[in-house]
């Protein structure tokens, strides 16, 4: 039988009278499910109680202080009728939990410090190796024993000696740099752990206890469920795109980076990721009348009218949101696969059910979960903007086939197994193009050569001055198969009819790319081992008594 009654919450400052007839019963609850939003989370706790007949005050301690008290909901199912009268939320101080957490953090810090010292020792050894190498390379002959020192080496052995020193120096320097980088990561992690320790070093911590006043006509086995909204938890999309340039296959993976600093640990919880934003305003901004009038010179200034309009606009604006709280063995070889989350789409949002259960401690590192993975057919294209960057960039276009829209986020790019870099992905819907760039094709060489500006002065039959600009782009394909490339460039656009701009040379394949005036593209096929030229330019004419700006 399910409890279905209104819940009345009172804050910790409220004084709630507890009838003497109610028997106190303290019960521990555990986190069962968590729905994580991009800016908060909804936590559901469960507890099972053997409830005696009569009136009972059920106390559920350990609720986080950050929880939104107004969002608390209580429900339950019992083996006999149970009624819920009211709910009280009170703030409690606890030291036992802090002491255990403090010991855990101190032990973690000690382990990190030991590992950091090992890295620091490795750096010291690398620096000592560098000092020895430098001393050996600069060693002078000994007067008593001229055979000592590098200066006595025969000329035929000098090159080998220098190469040996160079190799040893490079290895030692690489070790030192790697140690420095690792030490920085350790220092960052230690600082986070130390901060967590300082936050609970007072010996006491605050949390909340929910007290439920219930009545049961007879004994019941009651299963309770409490859910509440809490800030300081979020998830953000992280994308991974890996291109196989030989087959044109694009492996596109959607992942979620989850982090939480709610003050409570999620242990073996069922986690769902939702695209809803509960903290965003649920209402439209209110619009008031906007009144304008003719300017009256008798008024001292327009300041009063400006202030009136400003006040009206401010009244129409919604109140600002409160800031969120912060932060094998060698048997038959089989490729490891990743579990994907199940997608549930609704009318207004999408939800991803994370497979299995998830454990994530408060304030811990970010956990990454795979939401979806798909293999797409990509159209490959070489592109270049030789005026600004004379490199051929390999780009791809593929149709997104996922069920849910993609939220804007960072995307890591891989080409043929090699990491290329990072980029940003805009919001995409099913059926739209995923456009990505996968770095330079160093087997396609491009040379951009402008010719000197040519100026034609006005003559007897013309009162206009003319400027001519010309460019030559040379592309060489060093691949063993043919390629195609698209070159982009821009020509000036006049904002007045007194200026005339005429495109000269090779006609562009596409004009006004992406509806941008003056941005043109030239498409060319690149046979193997040959050079292809693109020649183009523009001519500008304008009145002789005027000057140009913007060139």
Segment 432-469, tens digit of pLDDT: 999 999 999 999 999 999 988 777 777 666 778 889 99
Assess contact for 499 and 540: CB atoms under 8 A.
yes
- Rounded to a whole number of angstroms, the distance between the first and last alpha carbons of the chain is 80
365 burial via Cβ count (<10 Å: 0-12, 13-18, 19+): exposed
Residue range 207-212: mean pLDDT, rounded: 90
CA-nearest of 268, 248, 212, 216 to 6 is 212
Residue 425, burial from CB neighbour count under 10 angstroms (0-12, 13-18, 19+): buried
Rg from Cα positions in the chain: 35
Q: Which two tokens stand for residue 270?
A: 């069922």
| pLDDT at 157 exceeding the cut of 90 | no
Q: Around Cβ 102, how many Cβ atoms within 10 Å?
A: 17
Average pLDDT, the chain: 81
Over the stretch 387-430, which tens digit does the pLDDT of each residue have? 999 999 999 999 998 888 888 889 999 999 999 999 999 989 88
Task: Point out the least confidently predicted range of 206-220, 274-288, 505-519.
Answer: 274-288
Q: Answer whether residue 9 shows pLDDT above 60.
A: no
Q: In this predicted structure, what is the pLDDT of residue 140?
A: 52
Q: In the predicted model, is pLDDT for residue 482 greater than 70?
A: yes
Q: Which residue has the tokens 């089989």?
A: 334
Q: How far apart are CA 511 and CA 516, in angstroms?
A: 9
| Model confidence pLDDT, tens digit, residues 28-57 | 999 999 999 999 999 999 999 999 999 999
The answer to whether the pTM exceeds 0.85 is no
Q: How far apart are CA 268 and CA 291, in angstroms?
A: 59
156-165, 321-330, 384-393, range with the lowest pLDDT: 321-330
Check if the beta carbon of residue 520 is closer than 8 Å to that of residue 510: yes
Phi, psi (deg, nearest 5) at residue 281: -60, 135
């Amino acid at each position: 039988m399910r409890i279905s009654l209104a819940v009345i919450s009172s804050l910790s400052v409220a004084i709630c009278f507890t009838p003497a007839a109610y028997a106190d019963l303290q019960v521990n609850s555990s986190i069962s499910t968590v729905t994580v939003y991009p800016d908060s989370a909804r936590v559901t706790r469960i507890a099972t109680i053997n409830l005696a007949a009569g009136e009972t005050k059920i106390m559920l301690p350990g609720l986080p202080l950050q929880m939104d008290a107004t969002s608390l909901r209580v429900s339950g199912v019992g083996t006999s009728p149970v009624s819920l009268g009211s709910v009280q939320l009170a703030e409690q101080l606890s030291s036992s939990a802090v002491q255990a957490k403090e010991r855990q953090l101190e032990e973690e810090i000690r382990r990190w410090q030991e590992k950091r010292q090992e890295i620091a020792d490795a750096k010291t050894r690398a620096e000592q190796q560098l000092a020895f190498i430098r001393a050996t390379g600069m060693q002078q002959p000994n007067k008593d024993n001229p055979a000592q020192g590098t200066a006595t080496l025969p000329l035929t052995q000098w090159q080998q000696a220098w190469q040996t020193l160079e190799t040893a120096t490079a290895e030692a320097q690489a070790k030192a740099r790697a140690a420095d980088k690792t030490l920085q990561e350790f220092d960052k992690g230690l600082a986070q752990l130390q901060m967590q320790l300082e936050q609970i070093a007072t010996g006491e911590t605050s949390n909340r206890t929910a007290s439920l006043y219930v009545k049961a006509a007879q004994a019941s086995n009651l299963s309770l469920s409490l859910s509440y909204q809490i800030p300081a938890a979020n998830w953000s999309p992280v994308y991974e795109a890996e291109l196989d340039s030989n087959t044109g296959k694009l492996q596109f993976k959607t992942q979620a980076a989850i982090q939480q600093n709610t003050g409570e640990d999620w242990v073996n919880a069922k986690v769902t990721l939702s695209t809803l934003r509960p903290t965003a305003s649920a209402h439209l901004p209110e619009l008031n009348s906007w009144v304008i009038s003719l300017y009256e010179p008798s008024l001292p200034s327009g300041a009063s009218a400006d202030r009136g309009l400003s006040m009206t606009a401010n009244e129409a604006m919604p109140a600002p949101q409160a800031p969120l709280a912060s932060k094998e063995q060698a048997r038959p070889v089989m490729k490891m696969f990743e579990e994907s989350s199940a997608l549930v789409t609704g009318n207004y949002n999408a939800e991803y059910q994370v497979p299995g259960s998830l454990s994530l401690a408060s304030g811990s590192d970010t956990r990454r979960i795979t939401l979806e993975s798909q293999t797409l057919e990509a159209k490959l294209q070489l592109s270049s903007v030789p005026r600004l960057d004379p490199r051929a960039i390999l780009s791809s276009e593929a149709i997104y086939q996922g069920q849910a829209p993609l939220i804007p986020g960072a995307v890591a790019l891989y080409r043929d197994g090699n990491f290329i870099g990072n980029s940003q992905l805009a919001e995409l819907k099913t059926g739209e193009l995923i456009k990505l760039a996968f770095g330079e094709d160093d087997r396609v060489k491009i040379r951009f050569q402008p010719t000197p500006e040519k100026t034609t002065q006005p003559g007897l039959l013309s009162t206009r001055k003319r400027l001519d600009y010309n460019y030559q782009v040379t592309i060489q394909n060093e691949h063993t198969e043919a390629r195609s490339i698209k070159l982009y460039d821009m020509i000036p656009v006049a904002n007045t009819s007194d200026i005339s701009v005429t495109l000269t040379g090779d006609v562009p394949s596409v004009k006004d790319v992406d509806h941008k005036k003056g941005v043109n593209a030239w498409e060319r096929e690149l046979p193997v081992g040959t050079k292809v030229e693109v020649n183009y330019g523009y001519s500008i004419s304008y009145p002789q008594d005027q000057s140009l700006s913007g060139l």
